Amino acid sequence: MFAIAQEHQQYTTYVLTDATAQSRLEVVPERGGIITRWQVQGQDLLYLDAERFANPSMSVRGGIPILFPICGNLPDNAYTHNGQTYTLKQHGFARDLPWQVVDQETQEGVAITLVLESDDRTRAVYPFDFHLQFTYRLQNNSLEIHQTYTNRSSKPMPFSTGLHPYFSVFDKTQLSFDIPATKYQDQINKTTHSYTGSFDFDVDEIDIAFRDVSRQFAVVTDPNRKSRLTIDYDLVYSTLVFWTVKGKDYYCLEPWTAPRNALNTGEALIQLEPGASLNTLVGFSVAFL
């Protein structure tokens, strides 16, 4: 019923399958621990730009990239800690570094566990020692991402974290959204607007942040796919970001623990005490209508 296989192409890909549910998950540890495919009942739910994915010098557009230790970008890609200025590029470094597979499960379900640890490369831009552990669990029509963040430094570790799923779509104008917020901030021009439940997909780019969400799930209904996608997230995720580009067959609905520039402003920033761990969970499930 449950199985994990490896495919060796440009990158080693771990393929998780649930035969009964006809679901499939593909994970590429060395390319930022990224999920590149989530398939349910023969339908691909995620978008992937294969050309960018094949080029290690480019950030991936597609799948579910991991955002750590920041979400979004910093002004001039810079932040200050204890009087010293560091450079950290958009969304941090976790999505660019190789992760290590430490566990696999095929009994009660199918799951794979990956870890990322601090090293000289990360300490040069983020002066903390950390241990990240992600478990991707596939079962029936759902995908769960269990996360543990551990501070191995002798001082509190500030960070934000999030996921950047790219969902495949044929016609964005047909989507309907149930997002638990009444206002959003346009990240392009920094203006705040009331949320009416719809978006103007005629503009070149939509990049908006819903702050202080009122419940722990959001729903997107796609009549073309005859599907309803639900995203569940823990209380620590205070922000949902919606992003898409005109002419591209994807939309992103991203749970973040803090808004952009939190490492400088401190807004909703997690401060993890020395030796402490934070456990979080984000889940995705799809129902076919």
The CA distances from residue 227 to 168, 180, 261, 288, in Å, are 12, 19, 35, 4
Q: Note the pLDDT tens digit of each residue in 12-27.
A: 999 999 999 999 999 9
pLDDT of residue 281: 98
Q: Note the pLDDT tens digit of each residue in 142-163.
A: 999 999 999 999 999 999 999 9
pLDDT of residue 56: 86
| Average pLDDT for 55-66 | 93
pLDDT of residue 9: 85
Q: Note the pLDDT tens digit of each residue in 187-232.
A: 988 899 999 888 999 999 999 999 989 999 999 999 999 999 999 9
Alpha helices in the chain (DSSP H): 50-54, 120-125, 262-265
Domains located in the chain, CATH noted: 2-288 (2.70.98.10)
| Average pLDDT for 182-191 | 92
pLDDT of residue 196: 87
Q: Note the pLDDT tens digit of each residue in 256-266.
A: 999 999 999 99
| Average pLDDT for 55-61 | 89
Tokens found for residue 284: 């995705």
Split at pLDDT 50, 70, 90, the class of 116 is: very high
Split at pLDDT 50, 70, 90, the class of 279 is: very high
Cα distance between residue 143 and residue 23, in whole Å? 10
pLDDT of residue 59: 87
pLDDT of residue 212: 83
Partner residues linked to 143 by β-bridges: 138, 284
SS (H, E, C) 206-233: EEEEEECCCCCEEEEEECCCCEEEEEEE
Residue 148: which residues within 8 A CB-CB, separation 6 or more?
A: 131, 132, 133, 134, 277, 278, 279, 280
Cα distance between residue 259 and residue 72, in whole Å? 7
Residues 246/250/251/254 CA torsion (nearest 10 deg): -130
Q: Note the pLDDT tens digit of each residue in 34-44.
A: 999 999 998 99
Average per-residue pLDDT in the chain? Answer: 96
* Omega cis (within 30) before 69: yes
Tokens found for residue 278: 């934070």
pLDDT beyond 90 at 29: yes
Split at pLDDT 50, 70, 90, the class of 243 is: very high
pLDDT of residue 88: 97
